[in-house]
Structure 1
């Protein structure tokens, strides 16, 4: 009898101990079950920054995120939209191949919330409460580049600049806005001795600038619409044994900032890819929950209640360490 009582007491004590231990250990966080798909137009060093930020912020919010790469193919990106809808994703984030796809993407998505990131879509096609655009004002980097060139010419006592201009993908909103802004704010007398698209591609820019050098063309500065093309231009000059002229980029990528530190590039304008990716996830979650986009932090919500904007930041030798560290 005593043995049975003693055994019962031991069992009760063990149960109490286990119960106490269970109360002290927090239960594992439950998964929300929310799923978001991300369709990237392509991958370069900057766009990988956006993609990585989306994945990291989704994980922090316990959201499953699937990434697809369209390889700059219109048909492939449209298939991504169809797959996301048919597979029951809660929302889709799109880095668009071209703004000409916007209406088709929204038709294919039907009632699924769609957030466009980095590349501006056809804004008139978007619907408040169903869609959003997260990006930066693409007129800013052209203005910053023009200001740098104006100051450089004044500092060096130059009355005229011969400029090589390397642009992005033709027809893209960013390509157009960066060009128009540069032209509007460039005050020093100048000629564009070469003005052509290198499609945001380092290798294409290297080939084009290399051909200019071989042809004996002279120029005082190279302005590129992204860091990859700027680096390609610098590589072409180095390969030809030429002294580097001022070379300006846009994006403020790790490679671009390293190029400034190493003396390859003179200037870039940081595009906040990390912040764009984070805000795109927050916007998608807000749309899924039926909340207003003004709940998304760290952005400026436009009067259209669709656009979430994050400013560019100029980077040169004086402040580049802030962006490398």
Structure 2
């Protein structure tokens, strides 16, 4: 049975149960059945209950941008909708429990950014069996998801790789680079890596490559210290870092190792600290991913699914377990000191005052921002 038919069956069953047990309250109250019921008898009308699950709080984007943007768009589209929010704090077991709680509660739809795309598949299956559609947000969760929105993640890697080659110039073959990839449990990390390698292989020598546990800056710092010890300070000409948080840990290791001149280091997410390092010249680039289009797409998809409407999408994508998932992919932008004003400042991601604190005022002046 398709997910659509299952959802229709749940609606019909809930309507019949509500009529027969009106004097005693809902069926769930009457017989203790834990199967989520539809209190309104028709999910296509009236207020909706929406679950929002984000993966971690180590990366600044989730609490500062993703959550408030998604919640604001939901409220704009559906003022009487309610939102149940949880952050798994990088704990896949906790996220499974959060997901199962939403299923038991009987929400109308779930927006899920998975900690571990594989381990969450069982919970996605439970949601599907309960007639609750799931929008995979930012990371392509496995299981019978109903829609997906993210950035073109292989393109993110290609943007990073091209920027690193541009920074290296004629020095690209004069030494070795270190690759600091993301968490092995995050499917996006594999796509970033694939995209970067498609540009870098054959153009540089990769001396060391690491998959970084839970995207932790401390792990990136430890791995970078190991790479410096193994390759030697004089032989490292560049570092591919999959995101800004890890770039911070990498740059700390490089500075503590006494590099006379820091090699170019990439990043991603346009975190405030990353933007400041770019302006100061210690980090070469980041990837600016405008969060609003991604957040808006997730909210629009979720509400359409809950109301039984067509899902707004620009393409389809296949996960390891599900084919033809409606998808909206947002294009990333390389962020360097040259285009800070045209990207993060223009889009009001940060204010000039937030970026150009007293510590970075001179660098901001030199970059022409003040």
TM-score (norm 2): 0.70
Aligned to 2:326: 306
Q: 2:307 aligns with which of 272, 289, 302?
A: 289
Q: 1:145 aligns with which of 160, 182, 191?
A: 160
Whether 1:54 and 2:70 are equivalent positions in the alignment is yes
SS of aligned partner of 1:244: coil
Shift of 1:214: 5.5
Q: Which runs of 5+ in 1 are unaligned?
A: 1-31
Q: How does 1:1-325 map to 2 (within 5 A)?
A: 33-43=47-57, 44-48=59-63, 49-61=65-77, 62=79, 63-109=81-127, 110-122=130-142, 125-126=143-144, 131-154=146-169, 156=170, 158-186=172-200, 189-199=203-213, 200-213=215-228, 217-218=232-233, 219-242=236-259, 243-294=261-312, 300-302=314-316, 304=324, 306-325=326-345
Q: Determine the C-alpha separation between the residues in 1 that align with 2:148 and 2:176.
A: 37
Q: Sort the Cα spacing of 1:42 and 1:245 in 2 relative to 1 into closer, same or farther, 3 A.
A: same
Once the two structures are superposed, residues 166-201 of structure 1 have per-residue CA deviations (whole angstroms, 9 ceiling, x without a partner) of 111114321211112222212664222221122322
Aligned to 1:21: none
Pick which of 278-287 and 49-58 moved more: 49-58
Q: Sort the Cα spacing of 1:186 and 1:203 in 2 relative to 1 into closer, same or farther, 3 A.
A: same
Pick which of 284-293 and 270-279 moved more: 270-279
Shift of 1:157: 5.2
Q: Sort the Cα spacing of 1:86 and 1:247 in 2 relative to 1 into closer, same or farther, 3 A.
A: same
Aligned to 2:43: none
Q: Determine the C-alpha separation between the residues in 2 that align with 1:255 and 1:202.
A: 13
Matched-pair contact (CA < 8 Å) for 2:221–2:253: yes
Aligned to 2:16: none
Q: Which runs of 5+ in 2 are unaligned?
A: 1-45, 318-323, 346-370
Q: Determine the C-alpha separation between the residues in 2 that align with 1:321 and 1:214.
A: 38
Q: Determine the C-alpha separation between the residues in 1 that align with 2:61 and 2:278.
A: 16
Q: Determine the C-alpha separation between the residues in 2 that align with 1:302 and 1:161.
A: 41
Shift of 1:208: 2.6
TM-score (norm 1): 0.79
Give the number of the structure whose alpha-carbon radius of gyration is greater: 1
Shift of 1:116: 0.9
CA RMSD of aligned residues (A): 2.3
Shift of 1:105: 2.1
Once the two structures are superposed, residues 112-153 of structure 1 have per-residue CA deviations (whole angstroms, 9 ceiling, x without a partner) of 12111001123xx436xxx11111121112211222233334
Matched-pair contact (CA < 8 Å) for 1:249–1:267: yes
Shift of 1:102: 4.7
How many residue pairs end up in the alignment? 284
Q: Determine the C-alpha separation between the residues in 2 that align with 1:191 and 1:157.
A: 11
Structure 1 consecutive aligned stretches of length 4 or more whose deviation exceeds 3 Å? 156-161, 210-216
